[in-house]
Structure 1
Amino acid sequence: MLVQLLRQFLSQYARPIALLLVFQLVQTIAALYLPTLNADIIDKGVVTGDIGYIWRVGGMMLMVTLVQVACTIAAVYLGARVAMGFGRDVRRAQFVQVESFSQQEIGTFGAPSLITRATNDVQQVQMLVLMSLTIMVMAPIMMIGGVILALQQDVPLSSLLLVIVPVLAAVVGLIISRMVPYFRAMQKKIDTINGVLREQISGIRVIRAFVTEPRERRRFGDANTDLYDTSVRAGRLMAMMFPAVMLVMNLSTVAVMWFGGHRVDSGEMQIGALTAYLSYIMYILMAVMMSTFMFMMVPRASVAAERIRGVLDTDASVVEPLQPRRDTEHAGVVRFEHVTFAYPGAEKPVLHDVTFEALPGRTTAIIGSTGSGKSTLLNLVPRLYDVIDGAVLVDGVDVRDLAGEDLGALLGLVPQKAYLFTGTIADNLRYGKPDATDEEMWAALDVAQARSFVEELPDGLGSAVAQGGTNFSGGQRQRLAIARAIVRDPRVYLFDDSFSALDYATDAALRAALKPRTRRSTVIVVAQRVATIRYADQIVVLDEGRVVGTGTHAQLLETCETYQEIVYSQLSVEEAA
């Protein structure tokens, strides 16, 4: 995936990169040409007192400088454009890849890590690309050109390069090799601090309710200090880089002036040539120093690239069929045939040999104790997970043989945790049906018992919704999530404990209003409260992932011991009857 992305990037930006190379080449040639002109002014103009020659060569130097400045501006612009485009494409590729992930892959990486990989990691690689285009293209040209021109000025004095360059390369290499482990650790610690922040912000009400702010501050402080300590260690090594490079450069300058001065004194070298030679030595060392900037970024960027590649090269466990079935009638019949499912790495399956059928025009309820596999069973229908044995069928077709778009169009899912998106109420209600009219949305709000509080809002359907719907109560969020599913008018409704935040009166009114709206659809309800599902046409009782009873409320009260325990834990004998 990453290799394919790089190929697309190179093909898309081939022309800007080619222009950038041209500008870098012209810029470097201009920079290397200036010391030669400067040497000519000294040797042929200043020494001889030829003012006209000084003006002519000085004007030429000015022209060369202007060309160098123009090429530098163009090269930096193109480099920034290409690097920012690369970052955009990598972020988009990661986003598309994460969208294809099932809950299994999301859980493997974790939300904080995925966020870091799509932001901080991409930024590290993006900066490396920018530095590569603006520095690493110019540095080799400047180094090679500097060596050639230095040899032209004085070959014996150029023997200093055999000492200077290896020493500088050795110093830089030693420091960088020690920085890599710290940069690798820093990215992981950024994941950790993101996870702590995300958890504390999401759970702020719980933290305040239990007055655990001091403990959470200590927890964040530990993660923050851990990142700080690692960053300081990496920073110390980074801080050593510049003094080491400058030390080598200054010693090189002293050495050139010392040995060059002796050659000038003996008449083997002219003053202008020594000045030009000193400039070329500085160019060579500057090229090495620019490469040093690059090498300082390579360790951290390489770690970030590995993490990005980890996302892009991860195959989703839930994949689209190669030849999806499209020749089925959409009646909405859902059937579980000997379904077995286990989470990756689990010691035993969550669901064992589950078989039942949910029909249109009927409500099928799933009930069981906590951890019995109710929500997991419901999540198999929209393929949030795939079964490991058996099959989930919709209208006689295995959901694994249906295109995701076709399957999604049949379903209206209301998750256990009602989640609303940033925008307006209308935006959220149109999430499953973009062309829904205001009349359709108000009708859905009527059924979901949400019309009253929406009408009381100043902007009605245009009222703002914060991220996650945090500006609404839990019951209001659930009703809006239910209305969102109703607006879609699907063939199959999936309610995952979607009435738990409602009081009994609202629950009863909503179910009564929902029945005529779903008379042609299949309704599957996961619930904890018996009052919510006692009037269902079919109740499936789960116990430790197995179906231990199927029937109506009255039938199960007579035949299913597990159902009796659940009912009598919530209702009296008279109420249950």
Structure 2
Amino acid sequence: MPATTTLPPPDAPSRAGDQRGRGGRGGPGGGFGPAKIDPEDRAQLAESPVKIARILKLFRPYRGQLIMVTLIIVGTSVIGLASPFLLREIIDVALPQQDVRLLVILVAMMLAVTVVTSLFGVLQTWIATKVGQQVMHTLRTRVFSHLQSQSMSFFTGARTGEVTSRLTNDIGGMQNVVTTTATSIASNLTTVVATAIAMIALSWQLSLFTLLVLPPAIILTRRVALLRREMTLQQQRRMADLTSQIDEGLSVSGALLTKTMGATKASSRRFAETSTELVDLALRSELAGRWRMATMSIIFAAIPALIYLVAGLPITGGTISIGTLIAFASLQGSIFRPMMGLLNVAAQWIASMALFSRIFGYLDTTTDVPEPTHPLPIDPAAIRGEVEIVGVDYRYPGAETGALDGIELRVSAGGSLALVGATGSGKSTLASLVARLRDPSTGSVTVDGYDLRELSAETIAAVVGVVTQETYLLHGTVRDNLLIAAPEATDEQLWQALEVAQIDDLIGGLPAGLDTVVGARGQRFSGGEQQRLAIARVVLRDPRVLVLDEATSALDNATERRLQTALDALSRGRTTITIAHRLSTIEHADQIAVLDHGRVIELGADADLRARAGAYAQLAGDPVNVS
């Protein structure tokens, strides 16, 4: 049995990414809002712990830049502390003594401190952002490439929104880890330590008083901010609901659904209810914000006032100068913000580790269709196209019963095989094995004797062409969609492929021709037109083996007959495996395999199978059950 795909729960929300998006007010260095530890972050880490060594490995190529950022942070904090001491000298010495020369020097030094710290801040942001973006780029491309190598079982079990969230929100949060979380922790810690030392150097008596006043002020601020944070989170959840309702109600498919279901009024009513909740939450959030600002104003006004009061008490003995008092008040005010940031370290750390856990979870997802370590070097042009299916069983992950059981089939080079059977008989599953969209649980699928598991994905794509019942077109031009198959194709080759697919007249009659935009998921064209464009793509690939999974099912009878004639011409000299939509389209196949519950119960030519009066003859008499 191949390795089972280990996929995170498909319905698990990507909370790390959400937290990155909503943490602006309470993030490190971004205000006084407390960062709460998300229970789901804790659960994520409990389920999938992250090794620190693995994270450090990501940043190892940038250790020089990270050391530079650290030195800049320390240097900025230390240089910035010169301002209060310069201010003290101005007030205590230069102004009382009317020393203009000293005053100019001190003022110039204060300006120089501001300029240097500002320049250091810009340099720090540039380096940290560059490192974060580079690590984010590396992870993003690794995850995207890794997910592309997954089998179809992965994509049928995972939600597209979940995959998108991992690639955008979670990996996007990588930059936040470097530029915000890590740098803010380092900056806050350095600032608190340096400021505390400077405060003690200025006045140990006032420093003792600060130890009594500052903790209650921080606690009160956190409690007030917690209320506003909760309001903000509720507001963002409701806004997410509103956005979802807009996407569902105003997209092409959503609008079609609401109109045909008569749900337009219900949809409008639900939208109005959500919008009303947003109004209420906005008012409550703004009110909480006003209380928060009022509380902060009182705290910041009270602490300096209390410091001035203590400075005048007999216990200080009048030993504190005016300059020292003002410089100390300045330092005391600047220590508040970094201390609040340090109190959020635990939540920031848990959230960051949960983010890494989710990203690594995708990188660690194993595929049941692995790329061969040493693929066989085969020239696709040299392939004749003999397909052999030997002892193949297949069971979907988590299924109790197998979808295929003991399949033995051989299609000679240039020959044709048709697969028929009732819905769920295993036709599409078997066809997907030939294109190696899945690997058999047991047995093998070979082309010219080469096991598909020994060929690279690029080689298989060049040898086996697939047209499925479900057509997917990119939101681009007709030219863009065709060039996916053959990037170097000329316009002449594109028109030839369209002609084979019986759609050249339609495209040629459009004002923009090949440059016509197909729209989201091909909405510009009908289902049959989309399918013919998909067939044109396969024509451009010029494969030796064709897999037609009900390729003509979306066409009307007249168009199907024209296209079937073109496909018959295209199939000459190529091995063709067709899943029949109508038995009339596969009457001339070399072999017809009748499947039932994953087994081949009949095999032979059309005339022979009809003469047996068995399962095939019953399907011929009841075409509704063919596919």
Q: What band does the TM-score fall into relative to the shorter chain?
A: 0.7 to 0.9
- Which of 96, 100, 117 lines up with 1:47 in the alignment? 96
Counterpart of 2:86 (choices 12, 37, 53) is 37
Q: Does structure 1 residue 75 correspond to structure 2 residue 124?
A: yes
2:102 counterpart of 1:61: no
- Deviations 1:290-311 (CA, angstroms, capped at 9, x unpaired): 4467777666555544433332
Distance in 2, Cα, partners of 1:226 & 1:339: 57
**Shift in CA distance, 540/226, structure 1 to aligned 2, threshold 3 Å:** farther
Report the Cα distance in structure 1 between the residues aligned to 2:195 and 2:368, rounded to whole angstroms. 55
The answer (yes or no) to whether the contact 2:390–2:408 under 8 Å persists in 1 is yes
Output the CA distance in 2 between the equivalents of 1:233 and 1:89.
Answer: 42
Matched, 1:111 2:160: yes
Q: Tell me the residue number matched to 2:504.
A: 451
**Counterpart for residue 565 of structure 2:** 512
Task: Report the equivalent of 2:186.
Answer: 137
The code of the aligned residue for 1:66 comes to V
Give structure 1 stretches of 5+ with no counterpart: none
Which residue is equivalent to 1:211? 262
Q: Output one character per residue of 1:196-255: Cα deviation in whole Å (capped at 9) or x when no partner.
A: 877765454344333334555678889999999999999999999888777765554344
**2-structure distance, mates of 1:229, 1:510:** 59
Q: Partners of 1:391 and 1:537 in 2: how far apart?
A: 22
Q: Against the structure 1 CA distance between its residues 369 and 232, is the aligned structure 2 distance closer, same or farther, given a 3 Å change threshold?
A: farther
Change (3 A) 1:72 1:233: same
Matches within 5 A, 1:107-506: 107-132=156-181, 134-163=183-212, 167=216, 202=253, 204-214=255-265, 252-262=303-313, 266-291=317-342, 303-326=354-377, 330-506=383-559
Compute the displacement of 1:175 (Å).
9.3
**Cα pair distance change 1:62/1:203, threshold 3 Å:** closer
- Please, which moves more after superposition, 529-538 or 460-469? 460-469
User: Does the residue aligned with 1:347 lie in a helix, a strand or coil?
Assistant: coil
Secondary structure at 1:106 match in 2? helix
With over 3 angstroms needed to count, the CA separation of the structure-2 counterparts of 1:51 and 1:185, relative to structure 1, is closer
Q: What is aligned with 1:90?
A: 139
Task: Name the residue aligned to 2:589.
Answer: 536
1:256 positional shift: 2.7
1:235-291 deviations in whole A, cap 9, x for unaligned?
999999888777765554344333233269622222211222222222221222344
1:21 pairs with 2:70: yes
Q: Distance in 1 between matches of 2:162 and 2:240?
A: 5
Letter in 1 for 2:180: M
Aligned in 2, Cα 1:542/1:234: closer, same or farther, shift over 3 Å?
A: farther
Cα shift readout 1:544-566 (whole Å, capped 9, x = no counterpart)? 22211111111221225322222
CA RMSD of aligned residues (A): 4.0
Q: Check the 8 A contact 2:181/2:348 in 1, yes or no.
A: no
Match of 2:620 among 551, 567, 571: 567
How many percent of aligned residue pairs carry the same amino acid?
30
Name which of structure 1's ranges 186-195 and 266-275 shifts more when overlaid on structure 2. Answer: 186-195
Amino acid at match of 1:507: E
* C-alpha separation in 1, matches of 2:61 and 2:293: 36
Residues 122 and 308 of structure 1 are in contact (CA less than 8 Å); yes or no, is this contact kept in structure 2?
yes
SS of equivalent residue, structure 2 residue 465: strand
Sort the Cα spacing of 1:223 and 1:542 in 2 relative to 1 into closer, same or farther, 3 A.
Answer: farther
User: Taking structure 1 as reference, are residues 179 and 556 closer, same or farther at Cα in structure 2, changes over 3 Å only?
Assistant: farther
Counterparts of 1:33 and 1:207 in 2: how far apart (Å)? 66
With 356-365 and 190-199 compared, the bigger mean Cα shift is at 190-199
- In the comparison of the two structures, how many residue pairs are matched? 572
CA distance 1:17–1:457, shift in 2 (3 Å)? same
Give distance in 2, aligned partners of 1:559 and 1:230: 73
CA contact (8 A) 1:164 1:248 kept: no
How big is each residue's C-alpha offset from its partner over 1:37-87, in whole Å with a ceiling of 9 and x where there is no partner? 101111112334434432332222222222222222332333333333343
**Structure 2 regions of 5+ residues with no counterpart?**
1-49
CA distance in 2, matches of 1:383, 1:225: 52
More off after superposition, 49-58 vs 230-239:
230-239
Q: Is the 8 A contact 1:541 1:548 kept in 2?
A: yes
| Closer, same or farther: CA 344–559 of 1 in aligned 2, 3 Å | same
For residue 310 of structure 2, what is the amino acid of its counterpart? F
- What is the CA-CA distance between 1:104 and the residue it aligns to? 1.9
- Aligned equivalents of 2:530 and 2:82: distance in 1? 70
Q: In 2, Cα distance between the equivalents of 1:123 and 1:111?
A: 17
Q: Is the 8 A contact 2:218 2:340 kept in 1?
A: no
In the TM superposition, what is the alpha-carbon distance from 1:494 to its structure 2 partner? Answer: 0.9
C-alpha separation between the residues in 2 aligned to 1:395 and 1:485? 21
Distance 1:518 1:224, change over 3 A: farther
Larger relative contact order (C-alpha < 8 A, sep ≥ 6)?
A: 2
2-side partners of 1:499 and 1:356: how far apart? 24
Contact 1:549/1:560 (8 A) holds in 2: no
Are the equivalent residues in 2 in contact too, given 1:339–1:352 (CA < 8 A)? yes
Q: Secondary structure at the match of 1:117?
A: helix
Closer/same/farther in 2, CA of residues 404 and 224 from structure 1, 3 Å limit: farther
Instruction: Report the AA paired with residue 520 of structure 1.
Output: G
Amino acid at match of 2:517: A
Whether the 8 Å contact between 2:132 and 2:174 is mirrored in structure 1 is: no
Q: Give TM-score, length-normalised by structure 1.
A: 0.86
* Change in CA separation of 1:183 and 1:433 when aligned onto 2, cut-off 3 Å: farther
- Which letter does structure 1 place at the counterpart of 2:477? T
How far apart are the structure 1 equivalents of 2:277 and 2:84?
A: 50
Tell me if the contact between 2:151 and 2:368 (Cα under 8 Å) persists in the aligned partners: yes
Greater Cα offset, 63-72 or 155-164 = 155-164
Task: Answer whether contact 2:594 2:616 (CA < 8 A) is retained.
Answer: yes
> What are the Cα deviations for residues 404-454 of structure 1, in whole angstroms up to 9, with x where unaligned?
222221111112211112332222222222222333222222221111111
Change (3 A) 1:13 1:179: farther
Distance 1:427 1:343 in 2: 34
CA distance in 1, matches of 2:238, 2:370: 32
Structure 1 residues 98 and 140: CA distance shift in structure 2, 3 A? same
Separation of aligned partners in 2, 1:531 and 1:432: 30
